[in-house]
Chains A and B, each alone.
Chain A
Amino acid sequence: MANSWKEWEKPVLDLEDGVAKLKQLADKETDAVKRQALEARVEEFEKRIEHFLQVRYSRLGPWEQVLLARAEPRPYTLDYISAIFTDFTELDGDRRFGQDHAIVAGPARLDGKAVMIVGHQKGRNIQDRAYRNFAMAKPEGYRKAIRMFEMAERFQMPVVTFIDTPAADPGVESESRGISEAIAASMLKMFELTVPIVSVVIGEGGSGGAIGIAIANKVMMQEHAVYSVIPPEGCAAILWRDPMKKAQAAAALKLTSDSALELGLIEQVLPEPFGGAHRQPVEAAQTVKTEVLTAFTELSSLTPQELREHRYNRFRGFGHVLGL
């Protein structure tokens, strides 16, 4: 069982290393024949990389999807914001207690049109991870989100949320300041809005921490994102008293984008470039942008009251209930 996405990417990384070296050699080579031969080798290697990625990524298991959703090079919320929107102006503070950098928020322009953005933000290096609290938001984060949702309503701006969190912050401080109430109040606020809301799960959709800002008219998941009621490790520990059974738990929880679509809990899976969004971030962001724009166009036929009603109906219908 893999413990990191790097394990299956190792051969690719080695091949890519080789390609880079061959290219260098080819550039320096003055003999036209030898140069051509080197270039042919490069092409062959590139084909092999592509083939490997296609084969490997078409048969990732649920646990591998979890590792990929958590992979450090994956684009994060701020990466998508800078690739998709213009004029993003980050706003901060819950006006109640404090600052929370696990959630970023603020207005931006999407193809010239003003929208409000709220999303979880992970960090890439040690300092950044600590600064972002591993994208585990505290009550202040959700209360900041509520402020933004209220502003979106006041100024009639469509809302985009990006979901990428392992969970809400479980610490003593967060309990003391009402993390449960903050999550519930954020969901409630989103139900009240009469502007269109679109949510995109771009990495980890971690239980309450995720759904707290994912009450949208349309919810999409990137191909390699996951969305789950509990992390596989926690599920394995509780059900089988063995955190090592995380791969089995990942399979049982049906947490992949395909499963969520099959269960009817999301509207769309956004395809990623071969080998994941981090291999072709520009392409990945373009797909997200196109689909978010399409979603807003679809929703534009609804009146403000209909949008609220649509969101209510979307979630009210969720559940597998028999004996009705």
Chain B
Amino acid sequence: MPLRKASAPNPNFIQCKGCKKTLFVADFEANLRVCPNCDHHHRLTWQQRVEVTFDIDSFKEYDADLYSGDPLEFPEYEEKYLQSQTKTGQKDSLVSGTARIDGQLISTAIADFNFMGGSMGSVNGEKVARALERGVELQCPVVIFCSSGGARMQEGLLSLMQMAKTTAAVDRCRQNGIPYISVFTDPTMAGVLASYASIADVILAEPKALVGFAGARVSAQAQVLKIPDDFQTAEFVYRVGMLDKIVHRKEMKATLGDLCSMLGHNLTEVKS
């Protein structure tokens, strides 16, 4: 009896990562990649994030050419870095620029988990710092979408210093009255969470996003305490008072638009 040939996946269907139900791709996309059945918010690439958040054709990328060397000559780093570049078509794990929400100018940065887990090395940190400082320069609010496993090990201490560098840039925004909003998307962890992500004026999160300082297993080992069922989810972080609001993807644009226009009511956009 001949072996049955495995059928190629039907491009019209996709399986939900939450409820495992098979969904029509068209419905799924129209629903901003949120499962119509269980409301699971699937991860977005930066292009998808731009599409669902900003005014049409308003995104203008900055600093697209920045890339990292291999300052530590860390084993296998160069190969992994090049592989990620090929896979994603980006130079590093974060894309930044300016965009508009309901006509209002904002400076933005969007981390992409597909590129080495969205890890923060020198380039990621530099682009975050520039995006924050561009808010000061252009006198507009800053919105950063976080998605990262943490600092990039392969750049060693240089990566740790990005926590400080991005924090320094947040300080610049604060000194200059520039509102800064961070959005925790799945996942927002470790070095990113413990620096610029957690000191925004307003912190939003997507439902069920993984948000935490240490890996859940590390936390469990560190203590005999029972881990809460929702540990390290956006809902947990909200419950303990560490973020302002969990926002459904469909509401994100409107929420950001309102916050940016209210907190930035005194700003006059600098024409570039």
Contacts and interface: CB of A to CB of B under 8 A. Distances in A.
Interface of A: 168-181, 183-185, 187-188, 191-192, 207-208, 210-212, 214-215, 227-230, 235, 238-239, 248, 252-255, 259-260, 263, 265, 311-312, 315-316, 318-324
B13 interface: no
Given A177-B240, A180-B194, A227 B157 contact: yes
Nearest to B200: A184
Given A172-B231, A229-B153, A318 B199 contact: no
A319 B158 contact: yes
B191 A208 contact: yes
Contacts of A172: 219-220, 222-223, 225, 227-228, 231
A173 B223 contact: yes
A184 B194 contact: yes
Contact of A238 (B68, B153, B162, B236): B153
B163 interface: yes
B253 interface: no
Nearest to B239: A176
- B169, B195, B232 interface centre (most CB from chain A within 10 Å): B195
28 contacts: A170-B218, A170-B219, A171-B223, A172-B220, A172-B223, A175-B213, A175-B236, A181-B199, A184-B194, A184-B198, A185-B199, A187-B163, A188-B174, A191-B171, A208-B191, A214-B164, A229-B157, A235-B153, A252-B75, A263-B71, A265-B158, A315-B167, A318-B165, A319-B158, A319-B161, A320-B68, A321-B123, A322-B67
Given A168-B213, A207-B151, A323-B91, A188 B122 contact: no
B38 interface: no
Interface string B176-217: 000000000000001101111111000000000000111000
Determine the main DSSP class of B at the interface with A: helix
Given A184-B167, A252-B72, A254-B156, A175 B212 contact: yes
Given A172-B223, A173-B225, A211 B164 contact: yes
Contact of A312 (B69, B163, B168, B240): B168
A316 B159 CA distance: 13
Interface string B47-66: 00000000000000000011
B112 interface: no
B241 interface: yes
Given A207-B151, A229-B151, A320 B91 contact: no
Contacts of B174: 188
Contact of B65 (A235, A259, A323): A323
A322 B219 contact: no
A127 to B, nearest CB: 18
Contact of A323 (B67, B193, B241): B67
A324 B66 contact: yes
Nearest to B122: A319
Contact of B153 (A253, A265, A311, A316): A253
A323 B66 contact: yes
Interface residues of B, number: 62
Nearest to B171: A191
Contacts of A178: 198, 240-242
B167 A188 contact: yes
Given A184-B199, A188-B170, A254-B72, A319 B123 contact: yes
A185 B174 CA distance: 13
Given A168-B194, A179-B213, A211-B161, 4 more contacts: A184-B198, A252-B74, A318-B164, A319-B122
Shortest Cβ-Cβ A-B pairs, 9 listed: A170-B214, A319-B122, A320-B71, A318-B161, A180-B194, A180-B193, A171-B222, A229-B160, A323-B65
Given A191-B171, A315-B165, A324-B66, A181 B198 contact: yes
A180 B168 contact: no
Nearest to A210: B160
Given A171-B225, A320-B71, A176 B157 contact: no
A192 B171 contact: yes
Given A207-B151, A229-B159, A319-B123, A187 B198 contact: no
